[in-house]
Amino acid sequence: MEKIVLYKNARGSCLFEKAISDGCKVILISDMYLPSAILKELLTSCGYDISNIPVYSSGEERYSKNSGKLFSIVKKNENVDIASWMHVGDNVHADILNAKKLGINTLHADWSEYNHGISNHWKAKDIIGESICKTLLLKQVSAFHQNDPLN
C-alpha cells in the first residue's frame, strides 16, 4: 500500500540532493513500523539513491523519535556530533521539539503533504456514524422507524 501512495517530494528531494552533493553524512530516521530494508526499498522505488545511507526505523529499533530515544541510538551507532547534526522532519513534536531537547539543530519540513485534517475528518465521520447507529437503537427512537425492514 505504501508503495502505491508514496512519491518524491520536490522540496525534500532538493534538500536531500544538496546534502549529498555538499558531502554531508545523511542518515534517514523514521518513526515507522516497517523495517529499514522495506523503507530503503520504498525510497529507492521513488528514485532516491540510498545505497550507502543508513536507515533507522523505530519499529525495528524498538525506540522512537517521539520518545527521543531513537536519536540517542543513531548518535551512538553513527558516531554523530550533536553540534553538527541537522535533523529535518515534519512532525513538530517528534522531529522538532524532541530533537531540540537533545541539542540537535532542526528544520521543520513544513512542505510535507501529510494532512492531519484528512485523518481527523474520517475520525469525525466514524464518530458521527457510530452516534447515529447508537441513537437508532434507542427505544424512544423506534417510534420514528416502526416499519424498519431490517427488524
Q: What is the pLDDT of residue 145?
A: 56
- CATH number reported for the structural domain that contains residue 27 in this entry: 3.40.50.1000
Q: How many domains does the chain have?
A: 2
Q: Please tell me whether residues 80 and 27 are part of one structural domain.
A: yes
Q: Please tell me whether residues 82 and 133 are part of one structural domain.
A: no
Residues 6+ apart with CB under 8 A from 101: 68
Q: What is the pLDDT of residue 137?
A: 61
Calculate Rg over the CA atoms of the chain.
Answer: 22
Structural domain span for residue 7: 2-108
Q: What is the pLDDT of residue 107?
A: 83
Q: Please tell me whether residues 68 and 142 are part of one structural domain.
A: no
Over residues 135-148, the mean pLDDT reads: 56
Q: What is the pLDDT of residue 127?
A: 64
Q: Please tell me whether residues 56 and 17 are part of one structural domain.
A: yes
Q: Please tell me whether residues 85 and 45 are part of one structural domain.
A: yes
The three three-digit cell numbers of residue 1, written as one number: 500500500
Q: What is the pLDDT of residue 32?
A: 81
Q: Please tell me whether residues 126 and 146 are part of one structural domain.
A: yes
Q: Please tell me whether residues 60 and 94 are part of one structural domain.
A: yes
pLDDT, tens digit, 9 for 90 and up, residues 44-70 = 888 888 889 899 988 888 988 888 888
Q: Please tell me whether residues 98 and 65 are part of one structural domain.
A: yes
pLDDT, tens digit, 9 for 90 and up, residues 67-119 = 888 888 999 999 988 888 888 888 888 888 888 888 888 888 887 655 454 44
Residues 6+ apart with CB under 8 A from 50: 28, 40, 43, 44
Q: How confident is the model at residue 34 (pLDDT cuts 50, 70, 90)?
A: confident
Q: What is the pLDDT of residue 118?
A: 47
Q: Please tell me whether residues 92 and 135 are part of one structural domain.
A: no
User: 64: how many CB neighbours lie within 10 A of its CB?
Assistant: 19
Q: Please tell me whether residues 87 and 143 are part of one structural domain.
A: no
